[in-house]
């Protein structure tokens, strides 16, 4: 691997480019994301009939282990393609999942409809956690004021904490996720990180927040480690040959599910943050990650991805409407929102975090003495 370069380059295979400051290219011009994609595809994905048989055996074990409980697994649902398809597969495997949804106040009407219609058709129970809005609003504002590209961390961390916490509380060992190598392997830490890092979240809120986080779902380092030891997270879409376009058609045909316009755009805030704030303030477009994984999986050609990136992330008139809506919902004037967005850019490494702690010499010495890997 060569070192990252300041001169503009784009991968010859996908559409990741030097808007990712950590990107590196090999001698052929292929980026490290694509190399990692190939490695993870070989190591994690069980393709074809072999994968379907392996998933069936896993489901048999889940059913057996949970036979005396009302539910044998937990799934998180957002109304998006991947999580809804996990629910669809779970019922096809004769599992008895409990669907868990975090209502953070930003669900689009379509997301709510998708969740309700799909789970009703599948006969899956839903547990919705409605987050305390004043707490969550304060935390989201804290992240905007922190001026990092990680403003979705408060939602994602709460979702993980809610899923794992629910499973542990009910004595369920299996958490089924919608993460998959084929469509989510070109993510870069430079564009967002800290999803599991409660120290990072807490440090930003202590600096910029004003409302105590009394009920916000979270997990500290030891709770997270305990979840890893006692629960099993299963990326069910890595078994068989997951094709997102085929999954969409299945959900539309059998569950009445409807598309919402972009990856994670089932959330109004996510749509605005990814489609408006990130390109304008931080100079990158997360569609590069999403399209690049689809290029590598064969669901999109590189030429199609390049054409997609020429278009606005979503319609300009909707961006402006979202800007007004987001400002109002956060309790800001449009001028105040613009002032926050104009703050100098920062990163995860500018604030206390577990990541910074792990880099210290003292931690490395202790880790070597204990003979353990990173937490």
Q: What is the three-state SS of 149-181?
A: CCCCHHHHHHHHHHHHHHHHHCCCCEEEECCCC
Residue 293 CA to residue 44 CA, distance in Å, equals 15
H or E element at residue 142: helix 133-146
CB 118, CB 255: distance < 8 Å: yes
- What is the Cα 153 distance to its own chain's centre? 9
* 8 A C-beta contact, residue 184 and residue 141: no
Sequence-distant (6+) residues with CB within 8 A of 52 are 239, 240
* DSSP-derived 3-state class of residue 232: strand
Cα distance between residue 266 and residue 103, in whole Å: 12
From the number of C-beta atoms within 10 Å of its C-beta (0-12, 13-18, 19+), residue 331 rates as: exposed
What's 4's DSSP letter?
Answer: P
Q: At what angle do helices 334-341 and 133-146 cross, to 10 degrees?
A: 50
Q: Return the bridge partners of 98, or none.
A: 74, 125
pLDDT at res. 357: 81
pLDDT at 371: 56
Phi, psi of 127 (to 5 degrees): -115, 115
Could you state, in order of their start, the residue ranges of all structural domains in the chain?
A: 47-282+314-350
CA-to-CA distance for 195 and 200, rounded, in angstroms?
9
- Eight-class DSSP state of 26: -
Dist. CA 132–CA 203, nearest whole Å = 20
* pTM attached to this predicted model: 0.91
Cβ-contact 35, 72 below 8 angstroms: no
Architecture of domain 47-282+314-350: 3-Layer(aba) Sandwich (3.40)
Task: Centre a 10 Å sphere on the Cβ of residue 42 and count the other Cβ atoms it contains.
Answer: 9
What DSSP letter does each residue of 56-101 carry, written as one string? HHHHHHHHHHTTTSS-SEEEE--SSHHHHHHHHHHHHTT--EEEEE
Beta bridge partners of 128: 101
Burial class, 8, CB count within 10 angstroms (exposed 0-12 / middle 13-18 / buried 19+): exposed
pLDDT at residue number 2: 41
Residue given tokens 């880099």 in the structure block: 359
Ordered mean pLDDT values, 10 residues apiece, the chain (375 residues): 66 98 96 97 96 97 96 95 96 97 93 94 97 98 97 96 97 96 92 95 98 97 91 96 95 91 74 96 95 96 98 94 96 96 97 85 59 49
Q: What is the rounded distance in angstroms from the CA atom of residue 179 to the CA atom of residue 299?
A: 17
């Amino acid at each position: 691997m060569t070192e990252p370069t300041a001169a503009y380059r784009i991968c010859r295979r996908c559409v990741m480019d030097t808007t990712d400051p950590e990107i590196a290219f090999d001698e052929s011009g292929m980026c490290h994301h694509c190399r990692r994609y190939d490695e993870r595809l070989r190591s994690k994905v069980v393709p074809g009939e072999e994968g379907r048989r392996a998933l069936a055996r896993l489901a048999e074990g889940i059913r057996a282990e949970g036979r005396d409980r009302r539910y044998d697994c937990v799934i998180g649902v957002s109304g998006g393609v991947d999580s809804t398809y996990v629910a669809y597969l779970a019922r096809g495997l004769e599992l008895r999942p409990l669907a868990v949804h975090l209502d953070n106040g930003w669900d689009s009407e379509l997301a709510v409809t998708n969740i309700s219609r799909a789970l009703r058709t599948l006969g899956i129970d839903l547990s919705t956690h409605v987050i305390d809005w004043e707490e969550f609003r304060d935390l989201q504002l804290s992240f905007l004021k922190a001026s990092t590209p990680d403003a979705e961390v408060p939602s994602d961390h709460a979702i993980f904490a809610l899923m794992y916490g629910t499973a542990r509380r009910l004595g369920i060992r299996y958490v089924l996720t919608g993460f998959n190598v084929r469509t989510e392997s070109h993510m870069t830490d430079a564009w967002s990180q800290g999803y599991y890092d409660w120290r990072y979240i807490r440090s930003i809120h202590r600096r910029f927040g004003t409302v105590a986080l009394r009920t916000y779902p979270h997990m500290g380092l030891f709770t997270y480690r305990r979840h890893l030891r006692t629960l099993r997270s299963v990326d069910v879409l890595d078994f068989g040959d997951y094709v997102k376009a085929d999954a969409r058609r299945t959900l539309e045909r059998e569950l009445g599910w409807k598309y919402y316009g972009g990856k994670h755009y089932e959330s109004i805030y996510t749509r605005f943050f990814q489609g408006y704030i990130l390109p304008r303030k931080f100079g990158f477009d997360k569609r590069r990650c999403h399209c690049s994984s689809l290029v590598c999986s064969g669901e999109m050609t590189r030429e199609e991805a390049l054409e997609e990136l020429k278009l606005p992330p979503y319609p300009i008139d909707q961006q402006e409407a979202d800007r007004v809506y987001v400002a109002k919902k956060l309790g800001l004037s449009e001028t105040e929102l613009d002032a926050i967005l104009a703050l100098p850019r920062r990163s995860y490494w500018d604030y206390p975090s577990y990541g910074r702690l792990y880099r210290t010499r003292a931690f490395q010495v202790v880790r070597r003495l204990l003979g353990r890997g990173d937490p």
